[in-house]
Structures are given as C-alpha cells and as structure tokens.
Amino acid sequence: MSSELALIKRIEAYLYQEMSDEEMIQFEQERAANPALDSKVVAHLDFLKSLKNYGEVQDLKSSMKNFHQQLDIVALKEELQEKEPAFVIFFRKYKRNLAVAASVAILATLITLISTGQFRKASNSSTYNALKRDMESIKKSQNALIRNINSKSPNKEIAPSQFGGTGFALSSNGYLVTNYHVVQGADSVYIQNNKGESFKVQTIYIDPSYDIAILQIVDPLFESLSPLPYTFKKSSSDLGEDVYTIGYPRDEVVYGKGYLSAQTGFGGDSIAYQVSIPVNPGNSGGPLMDNRGNVIGVISGKQTQVDGAAFAIKSDYLLKAIENIPQDSLKKKLKINSKNSLASFNRTQQIKKMQDYIFMVKVYN
C-alpha cells in the first residue's frame, strides 16, 4: 500500500512538473520501458481532469445560487404586475445574465461529457473484433461453410480444435509467431501446414501489450524448414502502400489484398496499422506483406460496422517482442532472417513461396 502511495506521489510530481530535469528524464524513461507505469500515468491524468471538471461544475452551481439570492423577488413582482407580462419584463431585464449563465452551463456540460467519454460512447458504436476463429460457433451457425478441421498427419490424428488462427515462421528451426489472443488460455496448441501435417507447439513467450505470442515446434516429426524467403521490415510503411495477407479463416489458405489506409490502429493505437483488406475470424496471427515480400505487420483484428477496416501489429513491435525474450529460455537460437528472396518475384510467385511458412494454429482448452 505504501509503495502504491509513493508511486502516486511520483506520478503527481511528474504531472505537476515538480521534479527536477534529471528526475523528469528518468521518469519518462521508466514510462517508455514499463507499459504498466505508462497506463497508470495516463489513468491518473484522466482522474485529475475529472476532478477539475467536477470543481468547475460546483463553481457554476455556487454562482447561480448567489445570483438567485441577490434577486429582489418582491420588488420584481410588483414591477412586473404594473407593466408588461412578467416573463417579458423578466427576460428583458435579466436576459444578459441568463445568457451568460446558460452559456457557462452548456460549456461545463460539454466539457464533462467529453472528458468522461460519453460522446465517444454514443458516436463510436463500432467495436474492435479480434479475429480468433471459434470452431464451435462455425459448426453451429454456418453449416454451409463447415470444414472438418481435423488434421491427419501420417503418424497421428488430432481431434477438432475449439479455436483457430494463423501463424507464420520466424526462423527455419521451428519458431513461429501468432497473436496472443489466439492462444490465450490454451491447454495445448498444434499447428497444421499446407500439406495437412500437424505438429505440437509450445508457447514460449507472450507480450499481451503487443498482442504477440512466440511459439516453438516441439514435435519430434518436425523437420526444419528451408531458409525463410522474407524479411521483417524495421521502418514504417507508407500510407496507400499495396499490401496483402495469407491466412486460415477456413481450413485452406486464403489470400487477401488491399492497401495501408492509416498509420495507427483502432482508436489511434500507435502500435498498429489500419489496412483496407478483407479479413475474417481465423486471419489473426497472419503476416501482412508489402510488394517486396517484407513482413510489415501481424494481422490482429478488424472494426465492426466498417467495411475493410482491419488492423495489424507493426513488425517493429514484433521485433521488439522477440528482443525481449529471455535468451536462457530458448532451447534453440532464434535468428531473424535478413535476406529477402521474394523482391524479384511477382505476387503469384511470392504467394507460392510463402505458403510453406504459414500455418493454421489450432487451440484446445
């Protein structure tokens, strides 16, 4: 409890600029390195704004009460009875005061609504949808599109999974990436390649703040892949750039094309891009590629009630998540490919070469 109070005091000293320059720099570095601390700073700032708005409303109420007490009701009544109708004389005499009071009241109300997010709640009826594939829901409500997602490798049979998504290779020796929300709460996870072969995997690292999960194939039947043909882009991509994705919204690989439509994700999320591209439940965890065959993001969700508004975690944050993996937790070295062999191929050829490195992720709870 005392440590929490000390943290709040530090946050307020930071917000009120009561720290020295050196302390400010140190605190900002802590915010950048600790998402939880950054969230607390933002939340406390919103709390202080709410207190300020509340105080303004109380001041308005006090001013209006004082205004009412200063009115000479008896004299006003006598004056109004002798002349024009009461409401006309009252309005003429006090219309300036009433206009000021009404304007202040309206302004205070608007500030309160904006600060508490009421306008956003009313106007932003669309929501963010993670694209994890609910196999049971598909069986019940979309019988025409049912695919039996049983995977049968030559040596074993895997029961139907409860949830599904997409993952793709980070290295040729069995490391893959998907979204954290795809494997969250899983008892066991398998992947299936484009040949129908299934392999058991383990989740070796998660970063919920980036919605990233790193998987490792631990199946004795798995043989290393050929060297990856794609690389991971470290710099930002440009607005309007052509992009495409490959994933498993059903039990066969599906290609979708589009363009980068915004530099930020849902609600201005800076760790994601918005892309105009067709995606469906099951696309979560799939790669977002540019024309040269660079991975620029990881498909994570879409916005409801808005056509073509999908979102992808930027590849830069995927690389940051990989850097944060404790090296002593890796049984094999995870080395990110730096050579791109797709750049000289057309889109159709790129897709053919990519398919061996993209997997259906099957989750069992």
Residues 177-228 have pLDDT tens digits of 999 999 998 889 999 999 999 999 999 999 999 999 999 999 999 999 999 9
Provide long-range contacts, Cβ within 8 A and 24+ apart, for 153-158.
153/196, 153/197, 153/198, 153/199, 153/221, 154/197, 155/221, 156/198, 158/190, 158/198, 158/362
Q: Could you give the CA distance from residue 245 to residue 274 in angstroms, rounded to a whole number?
A: 13
The residue among 157 and 174 whose pLDDT is bigger is 174
Three-class DSSP category at 330: coil
Cβ atoms 271, 317 nearer than 8 A: yes
The answer to whether residue 346 scores a pLDDT higher than 80 is: yes
Q: How confident is the model at residue 14 (pLDDT cuts 50, 70, 90)?
A: confident
What average pLDDT does the segment 119-133 reach?
56
The answer to whether residue 167 scores a pLDDT higher than 90 is: yes
Question: Which candidate, 162, 160, 165, places its Cα nearest to that of 130?
Answer: 165
Question: Which candidate, 337, 323, 315, 358, places its Cα nearest to that of 176?
Answer: 358
Cα–Cα distance list, 16 to 41, 44, 55, 209 (Å): 12, 12, 18, 28
pLDDT of residue 352: 94
Sign for the pseudo-dihedral over CA of 318, 319, 324, 330: positive
Phi, psi of 71 (to 5 degrees): -70, 135
pTM over cut 0.75: no
Tokens of 98: 């009433």
Cβ atoms 183, 213 nearer than 8 A: yes
What average pLDDT does the segment 64-76 reach?
67
